[in-house]
Amino acid sequence: MDFASHPGVDWKALFRLTGFRYYFAGMFISLFGTGMNFAGVTWYILAETNSTVKVSLITILVTLPGLVVPPFGGVLIDRVDRRWLGIGLDLGRAGIVLGAAALAWSGHMALWQVYLMMLLLGVGFAVYWSTTNALVQEVIPTGQLVGANAAVLIAVQGGMMAAGALVGFVFERAGLAGILGIDGATYVLSAFCLLRLRRGYFPPHKSFGVPAITPSPTIEAPPEMTEPGMLPPIVEPGLVMGLFADIKEGLRYLRTQPRVRAIGLTYAFMMAGVLSANVLVVALARDIVHAGARGYGYIESGWAVGAVAGGLAAGVVTRRRPRAVLVAALAILAVGHALLPYVAFLAAAVTMQALFGACRALGGVLTQSSIMSLVPRRLMGRTQSTFSVISTLLQVSMSFTLGWLGQHAGLPLAFAVLGLLYSGAVVAALRARALTESVSP
């Protein structure tokens, strides 16, 4: 499978894989809690400070660790069993959030403690997302990557959709403490799902030099690269030297893979827009459509409903002309966000968010499936982490910029700048399409 074509999605075959069923459940549960946390904390900060700049600090603190952690986290992902790494990250984040929930319940939680919680969660998230993305390769056969990525996106956005539908009601009745308590519990349940995903310990580097012969029912062993320069010895000269050697190997690989770079940049620009947009959407709900916490939850749910629908339709919609679909979806995100602040009714805002969610789903499925089909499993962690760093740089700079513009120059200009960010994804997607067509027979 490549960027230009893919087989149809066999949903029944996909969910017959026991490991993937647990993976799907874990992602849904985890992202339900994450959605409750992020939306609840965002509304709490805006209500307490009345400042979009202070709201932008949430996004900055969550994403800031992505500048430092991923290069080393990517090496870790490619060295240890990704399932156990995911379990450890889930349990660590559960402890952080439940501790913050106790502080909020006791009435002793200060604003700086909320920011500290988000920073620590950002450290975990910087490794967790790349870990779970790389784990997909080990749970499903290569031929089902489009279906698997669509299903994962449905799990993620389904969890966010449920969170968006409930967060306003929970916040009004249980406050921030209730939101954080639910989030902490979901991390524990997500860790349990990963625990049940499979048995044993399977570090990716164990596949060095081993040809893929017969896949197991739940784990595909993809073909490894055969170039001598890409097969380092297993004996490590030292922890630090080995760490930097692995980072250099990942960067050497990307330098020789322009298609992977273009597709990864497409994903990075798109996700930077998705995450930094939250700074403006919460202000849109309060100041333009005047919908309050519940309305903000409905707007978030609209995005998630669209993303779920897009994930379900991805296998059919992208089958014949995936490159054109990707460019069109990103163009809709760019133009649509520039027009969003001129929508004055909640129903219209929810509808537009649903359309954006569907476009994000199609873009995410196509880019992630393409990356997974092109990148060897043992290099996936470092590849994902590299693009995570790029996305983080964009998110941090754009979150503050959008927050400042929203507060001092108005939401229309801020949304226009957000549209320009999505335009960067369009340019990268066009580059990826050109490179793919140049190598197509």
Pair of tokens at residue 4: 């230009």
- pLDDT of 348 higher than 80: yes
Is 183 within the bounds of a domain?
yes
- pLDDT of 355 higher than 60: yes
Is 213 within the bounds of a domain?
no
Q: How high is the pLDDT of residue 242?
A: 60
- pLDDT of 247 higher than 50: yes
Is 298 within the bounds of a domain?
yes
Bigger pLDDT: 246 vs 291: 291
Q: Domain holding 39: CATH number? A: 1.20.1250.20
Q: How high is the pLDDT of residue 234?
A: 35
Task: Look up tokens 């991923």; give the residue.
Answer: 70
Q: How high is the pLDDT of residue 8?
A: 55
Q: How buried is 357 (Cβ within 10 angstroms: 0-12 exposed, 13-18 middle, 19+ buried)? A: buried
CA distance 261 to 255: 8
Is 228 within the bounds of a domain?
no
Bigger pLDDT: 428 vs 19: 428
- Report CA-CA distances (Å) from 104 to 76, 113, 142, 309, 376: 34, 10, 45, 36, 45
Radius of gyration of the chain measured on its C-alpha atoms: 21
Read out DSSP for 208-271? Answer: TTPPP----SS---PPPP--GGG---SS-S-HHHHHHHHHHHHHHHHHT-HHHHHHHHHHHHHH
Q: How high is the pLDDT of residue 1?
A: 43
**What would the pLDDT profile of 265-294 be if each residue is shown by its tens digit?**
999 999 889 888 888 988 898 889 888 777
* Calculated CA dihedral for residues 325, 165, 192, 366, nearest 10 degrees: 0
Is 425 within the bounds of a domain?
yes
**What would the pLDDT profile of 209-234 be if each residue is shown by its tens digit?**
333 333 333 333 333 333 333 333 33
Task: Look up tokens 């200009």; give the residue.
Answer: 413
Q: How high is the pLDDT of residue 232?
A: 36
- pLDDT of 200 higher than 60: yes
User: Which residues, 6 or more positions from 239, have their beta carbon under 8 angstroms from its beta carbon?
Assistant: none
CA distance 201 to 190: 18
Q: What burial letters (b/e) apply to 170-209, b meaning 16+ CB within 10 Å?
A: bbeebebbbbbbbbbbbbbbbbbbbbbbbeeeeebeebee
How much of the chain exceeds pLDDT 90, in percent? 25
How much of the chain exceeds pLDDT 70, in percent? 85
Q: Which domain holds residue 121?
A: 11-196+238-439
Task: Give the three-state DSSP class for 177.
Answer: helix
Q: Is the dihedral of CA 306, 311, 315, 318 positive or negative?
A: positive
User: Which residues, 6 or more positions from 110, have their beta carbon under 8 angstroms from its beta carbon?
Assistant: none
CA distance 99 to 114: 11
- pLDDT of 154 higher than 50: yes
Mean pLDDT, residues 153-173 taken together: 78
Mean pLDDT, residues 137-165 taken together: 73
237 pLDDT band, cuts 50/70/90, is: very low
Q: What is the pTM of this model?
A: 0.66
Pair of tokens at residue 80: 């240890």
337 pLDDT band, cuts 50/70/90, is: very high
CB 35 within 8 A of CB 159: yes
- pLDDT of 317 higher than 80: no
Is 76 within the bounds of a domain?
yes
Is 404 within the bounds of a domain?
yes
Question: What value, to the nearest 5°, has the Cα angle with vertex 276 and ends 296 and 423?
Answer: 115
Mean pLDDT, residues 373-386 taken together: 78
CA atoms lying within 13 Å on the CB side of residue 107? 0
Pair of tokens at residue 349: 């805002």
CB 4 within 8 A of CB 132: no
Q: How high is the pLDDT of residue 224?
A: 34
**What would the pLDDT profile of 60-77 be if each residue is shown by its tens digit?**
888 788 777 766 666 677
**What would the pLDDT profile of 179-191 be if each residue is shown by its tens digit?**
999 999 999 999 9
* Number of domains making up the chain: 1
Q: What is the mean pLDDT of the chain?
A: 80
User: Which residues, 6 or more positions from 416, have their beta carbon under 8 angstroms from its beta carbon?
Assistant: 338
Q: How high is the pLDDT of residue 230?
A: 34
Is 208 within the bounds of a domain?
no
Q: How high is the pLDDT of residue 359?
A: 93
